[in-house]
Amino acid sequence: MRQEPEIKVVTKIEKTVVPTVPHPKPVQMNDIKIYVVSPSENFEEFKKEFESKNGGDAYIAISIKDYENLSLNFAELRRYIEQQKAIIVYYEEAVSPLPKTEKSE
């Protein structure tokens, strides 16, 4: 009489490996030139310098308060980028498999 084969049940823990994708390329900023113009101090000087570089082109003026707001807006964007980056790194490390040295312990 043939012996009944023994069925072995093996339970193994298998984690899903989520592949991480490359990060986007870094930003490439263009330089800008800032003029600070005081009507009582250097307005004429500015006009001459500006015209010598840009001809009679129009220019955009921004108040000091708005410049402050602009810089605060950039600070907010910078914070957002840094925090978003930190969160991405967190997820990347969380889903990455454990190093072999840790696994063997």
Report the interface residues with other proteins, using CB under 8 A. 9, 11, 13, 22-38, 40-42, 53-54, 57, 64-65, 67-68, 71-72, 74-76, 78-79, 81-83, 85-87, 89-90, 93-94, 98, 102
Q: Which is nearer to other proteins, 1 or 64 (CB)?
A: 64
Q: Which is nearer to other proteins, 48 or 79 (CB)?
A: 79
- Provide the minimum distance between the beta carbon of 15 and other proteins in the complex, in angstroms, as a whole number: 8
- Provide the minimum distance between the beta carbon of 33 and other proteins in the complex, in angstroms, as a whole number: 3
Q: Which is nearer to other proteins, 48 or 74 (CB)?
A: 74
Q: Which is nearer to other proteins, 1 or 24 (CB)?
A: 24
Residues 6 or more apart from 97 whose CB is under 8 A from it?
15, 17
Rounded to 5 degrees, what angle do the CA atoms 103, 13, 15 make? 75
DSSP states of 8-36: -------PPPPPPPPPPPPP-PPP-----
Buried b (16+ CB within 10 A) or exposed e, 49-58: ebeeeeeeee
